[in-house]
Amino acid sequence: MSGFVAFTHPREAPVVSARAVPAPGPGEVLVRLEACGAGAADFGFFQLDALPRTPLIPGFEAVGVVEATGGGTGVAIGTRVGLTPLASVCGGCGLCERGLERWCPKAVLHGWHRDGFLAQHAVTTDRAVVPLGDGDDASQWAPLFASGWTAMGAVRAAGVGQGGRLGVIGVGGLGHLVVQVASAQGLAVAAWDVDADRRALAGEAACPEPFPMESVDALIVCTPSTQAIQQALRAVRRGGTLVLAAASPSVRFDLSLFDTVMRGVTLAPAFLGTRSDLTELISLARAGVVRPRVTRRRFADLPGAFWALRDGGFTGRLVFNP
């Protein structure tokens, strides 16, 4: 038997259950999970009036070891891999052809369309796996395959040239990685958060004395807060870019059409990035330039720790180890 965590009813906390170890089909691999990150997007399912599927196993970034394959994958048993949310895409639409496969209308995502990774075992596709070395720390690496990848995509979407000014709102599990990536790209970065401990996560990668928000060329919002998004619209300079990098299935927001148009603000979404972004991110991580800060919890502690996703009380990315 293999344990997993799942939402079974709307607006009810997830429960720990057990099932037979799933078997991989053709083009799939079975992974014994070692670490899985969790964040605001996972908590967002709790707030939905209806779940996209039942039961819904959340979790969309993980590290584990391949235990079996269904054939035709090219991934060897025993390989340690990182797991991304992107299980499959159509491969033939205009978005896929332009390297924007993450927005493919037929994209299948773990933790939404199919089982996520908050489990002891998961079945995924060879598209979703990234081979890693045996010496890599699973807990440190798990956040790279969704949060870190999105941080790379967010900095790209900001479109700020080297030496430009970038603001980051929300220095949590995603935001502190955005700060590190932006600093590695040669940008001047200022970070804001209502919590002093989270602000400290920005560390030396951020400017010690934040410049006025109205002077930033782009702002990346890394929290699913409607208030933060509305404040960011007024804070970015005229003609600047507002990047929305935090996704939650339960959050809605309103923006002033007049302010958006008359101030010339460009709205840009950020979710994952290109494959080359992921390759670059891994290189930065191996060089020690990007290093996720994580708070570890045991798999069995998840029902209680689940509420920390709403209340905070931890620094960096919350990572569960089976």
- Please state which of the ranges 104-108, 143-147, 255-259 shows the lowest mean pLDDT: 255-259
Percent of the chain with pLDDT over 70: 98
**Fold match between domain 2-146+273-321 and domain 148-269:** no
Q: What pLDDT is attached to residue 209?
A: 67
**Residue type at 1?**
M
Helix (H) or strand (E) holding 317: strand 317-321
Give pLDDT, residue 303: 76
The pLDDT of 133-149, averaged and rounded, is 92
Strand partners, 221: 169, 244
- The model's pLDDT over 196-248, given as tens digits with 9 standing for 90+, comes to 888 888 887 777 766 776 788 999 999 989 999 999 998 899 999 999 999 88
Q: Cβ-count burial of 253 within 10 angstroms (0-12 exposed, 13-18 middle, 19+ buried)?
A: middle
- For the cut 90, the answer to whether the pLDDT of residue 313 exceeds it is no
Residues 6+ apart with CB under 8 A from 63: 33, 34, 35, 80, 81, 82, 83, 132, 136, 138, 139, 141, 142, 145
Residues 93-113 have a mean pLDDT of 95
- Res 298 pLDDT > 80: yes
CATH 3.30.565.10 fits 148-269, yes or no: no
Spatial distance between the Cα atoms of 177 and 220, rounded to a whole number of angstroms:
12
SS3 218: strand
Q: How many residues does the chain have?
A: 322
Domain residue spans of the chain: 2-146+273-321, 148-269
Regarding predicted confidence, which is higher, 211 or 5? 5
Q: Give the confidence band of 322 by pLDDT, cuts at 50, 70, 90.
A: confident
Answer yes or no: is pLDDT of 72 > 90: no
Residue-level pLDDT at 195? 84
- Sequence-ordered list of residues with C-beta below 8 angstroms from that of 248, at least 6 positions apart, any chain: 40, 41, 43, 44, 47, 224
303: part of which helix (H) or strand (E)?
helix 302-305
Start-end of H helices in 18-135: 40-44, 94-97
**Has domain 2-146+273-321 been given CATH number 3.90.180.10?**
yes
Could you give the CA distance from residue 165 to residue 270 in angstroms, rounded to a whole number? 18
- At 132, the pLDDT band (50, 70, 90 cuts) reads very high
Query: CB–CB of 46/56 below 8 Å?
Result: no
pLDDT at 201: 81
Taking only the tens place, the pLDDT of each residue in 35-68 is: 999 988 888 888 888 998 889 999 999 999 999 9
Q: How far is CA 156 from CA 27, 101, 191, in A?
A: 32, 16, 17
Residues 229, 232: Cα–Cα separation, whole Å: 5
Across the range 246-262, mean pLDDT stands at 89
Dump pLDDT digits (tens) for 162-200: 888 999 999 999 999 999 999 999 998 988 888 888 888
How many H helices and E strands in the chain? 11, 16
Quick one: average pLDDT of 20-42? 93
